[in-house]
Amino acid sequence: MLALLEPDLDQRPIAVVELDDSTHDPARDRKRDAILNSCGYRVIRFEFCQKPTVSQIREIFTQL
């Protein structure tokens, strides 16, 4: 798993980006996602085996 905080233009974190690998535990992640969402963060997940392209990542962040 790779986790990153993505800042907005004022350098405030607005999203957590995770790259899920074989250690991914959906039940644990749902709990963590709920906590992060309650703090105002959006969680964006990508599967390790289906890594997104740069253009896909840009598209997601233009929608934030």
Task: Quick: pLDDT tens for 40-60.
Answer: 888 888 888 887 888 888 888
Name the residue range of residue 43's domain.
2-62
**CA–CA distance, 51 with 36 (Å, rounded to integer):** 23
Q: Higher pLDDT residue, 14 or 41?
A: 41
- Give me the long-range contacts of 42-47 (CB less than 8 A, separation at least 24): 42/14, 42/15, 42/16, 43/15, 43/16, 43/18, 44/6, 44/15, 44/16, 44/17, 44/18, 45/18, 45/19, 45/20, 46/17, 46/18, 46/19, 46/20, 47/19, 47/20
Give me the pLDDT at residue 38, please. 93
Average pLDDT, stretch 7-29?
Answer: 83
Q: pTM for the full model? A: 0.69
Number of domains in the chain: 1
